Amino acid sequence: MNKFKLDWLILPVIGMLIMLVTWHIVAGKKTYVLTSSLDEVGAIVTGLPEGGAHWKAVRTKIQAGEVKDIKKTSPEIWEAIQGSFEEKRVGLIPDLPNVIETWQSSKPYIVDPFAKRGEMDQGILRFTWYSLILVAQGYIIALVVGVPVGFFLGLSPTFTKMFDPLIQVLRPVSPLAWLPLGLVLFMRTGSEAGTYAALFTIALCGMWPTVLNTAVGVRAVPQDYLNVGRVLKLSRWKMLTKILIPATLPYMFTGFRLSLGIAWLAIVAAEMLTGRPGAGGFLWQEYNALIYEHIIFSIITIGLVGLILDRLMSLVEARFKAIS
């Protein structure tokens, strides 16, 4: 296809519309099913003080299945006849809320994003903010630990032989598996155990991309740059700060970006298991409360926040890539 102006904007929008339409089609919707006979309903309607004239219109609507219209246009009639109806969800996946239901149900969280109505009933940005703070803390721990470990791996073959197998074993372990261990480790810290366990999980899971990318980056430093330092007889410290670290930065930032993505994955898991307020905690609590609209809303929020974090990091990364 030829490139046209704004295709970077229009094509993704089209993609999302396709997704929304598909979702809406497979999702269920609310209808009212008549439980008694139509005439019985008619008797109620005609029996109402000003209901007689309406009956014909109401009857057509009921036959057409437009019961919701009656609810809206003639609430007093609806009140009288609703006992003859039963609410029912129909559709391909009846329990899946559709687009409109999701939007209506989530609106209070979006229009007032910083509201605090209760521990688990807060605006979405406030929830996101809680999660981001925790992610930031765990992420910083991951970087502070991960970068030196990466440098050791990249610089020392002995260290690599010793610890690389261990890292390969720990790396694929899911955040969900680390959290219980974290809870055990920090059990004695009392009420903050959940927080520490979450930080432990985020740091441990988010560390590996930084560790591995830093190690690869250190090994990829051109021998010529090191020779420049050797000819100048740079001290070990200067070799590290003036040559190794700047030369490794582009790789490190790739690691930082991937780590941030994993940290964000881990926070959701950690919040779900600990029940902390936050984007993931909200999701779990709404699942327990059977408010399915909010589950979808949470998923979308988590995805969007993850996307924004990734974009921001890749901007930073691109700056460092451009230099070397």
Partner 1 sequence: MAFLELKNVSKHFGGHSVLSNVNLSIAEGEFVAIVGYSGQGKTTLISLIAGLIKPDSGEVSLEGKIVQGPGPDRGLVFQNYSLLPWLTVYENIALAVNQVFPQWDATKRQAHVEKYIAMVKLSHAKDRLPKQLSGGMRQRVSVARTLAINPRILLLDEPLGALDALTRATLQDEIASIWQSERKTVVLITNSVDEALLLADRIIPLTIGPGATLGDSVPVTLTRPRDRTALNHDPEFKRLRALVTNQLLGFNAARKTSVTKKLIRPEILPEDLDAPRVNRPPRRPDEEKRESIQIA
Binding site residues, partner 1, CB under 8 A: 222, 224-225, 227-228, 230-234, 238, 242-243, 246-247, 249, 323-324
Nearer to partner 1, 165 or 222 (CB): 222
Q: Is 296 helix (H, G, I), strand (E, B) or coil?
A: helix
Question: How far is residue 181's CA from residue 19's CA, in Å, rounded to a whole number?
Answer: 38
CB of 239: closest distance to partner 1 in angstroms?
11
> CB of 235: closest distance to partner 1 in angstroms?
9
Q: Nearer to partner 1 by C-beta: 132 or 243?
A: 243
Name, in order, each residue with C-beta under 8 angstroms of 287's C-beta and a sequence gap of 6 or more: 295
Min CB(147)–partner 1 separation in Å: 17
154 vs 277, which CB is nearer to partner 1?
154
DSSP code at position 48: S
- The helix/strand/coil state of 262 is helix
31 SS3 class: strand
| Nearer Cβ to partner 1 (120/234) | 234
Per-residue CA distances from 154 to 86, 210, 299 (Å): 68, 12, 38
Q: Name every residue whose Cβ is closer than 8 Å to that of residue 124 and which is 6 or more positions away in sequence.
A: 106, 109, 110, 113, 279, 282, 297, 301
C-alpha span between 263 and 267 (Å, rounded): 6
Q: How far is the CB of 233 from partner 1 (least distance, A)?
A: 6
- Which of 133-170 are b and which e, b meaning 16 or more Cβ less than 10 Å from the residue's Cβ? ebbebbbebbbebbbebbbbbbbeeeebeebeeebeee
- Calpha distance 35→83 (Å, rounded): 8
Nearer to partner 1, 60 or 324 (CB): 324
Give the nearest distance from C-beta 249 to partner 1 in angstroms. Answer: 8
**Shortest Å distance, C-beta 142 to partner 1:** 25
Q: How far is the CB of 316 from partner 1 (least distance, A)?
A: 15
Query: Is the Cβ of residue 181 or residue 226 nearer to partner 1 in the bound state?
Result: 226
Closest CB to partner 1 among residues 143, 221: 221
Q: Which is nearer to partner 1, 215 or 221 (CB)?
A: 221
| DSSP per residue, 135-186 | HHHHHHHHHHHHHHHHHHHHH-HHHHHHHHHHHHHHTT--HHHHHHHHHHHT
Nearest approach in angstroms of CB 153 to partner 1 is 23
- At residue 287, φ and ψ (nearest 5 deg) are -65, -45
Rounded-to-integer distance, Cα 293 and Cα 117, Å: 19
